[in-house]
Structure 1
């Protein structure tokens, strides 16, 4: 679960468990007052791409918003990183914001806006069976 004070604008730059050490660096706002994205290192290995926060670590998986910048617009997709292989898989459509909340009943809960008015979920079984 996220700390109550973490949000996509201000979140912990380092998180660790027994298996995973996650560090953000070189953060920048994607627009004034908007979410921050930056480089991500997992267990000393720099990951490709720009990632938002906050991230959720569960077992050997990292759930994290991945910043996508396309010709038709920018936004976030959910990224699931297997920390044992460093494989990054992307899920779902591009959203203007993915504000991860918690894992509950085999579902990854998130909000699509900063004020937590629109709640959505990804089913973990589907994320790991693809």
Structure 2
């Protein structure tokens, strides 16, 4: 339920009446897109302050990994680091369901809802 203000205007008299009513609002499921481009990903990371703008530009133009992301990769088990570097530096599309995403989120204290929000915001850039 949500309290909404309804403004009614009598077209004959011009009288205005404000009425508050509780109405049932439908739930809207906000799903994250399944993929975003590398540009969208790095730009949104810069907007959120996870990396800076210079690092975001370097990531998309030369594939240079931002320092914070390089530090994140170093926290992964050694056998996963090469694949993580290849993904972060070489991907042209970032998939929301990629196995690296939950670890990325954990490194920045982001839960699933916050990761979904990152993907949604990035998708409209």
* TM-based fold match above 0.5: no
Q: Which has the higher strand share?
A: 1
Report TM bin, short chain: under 0.3
TM-score (norm 1): 0.25
TM-score (norm 2): 0.26
- Higher gyration radius (CA): 2
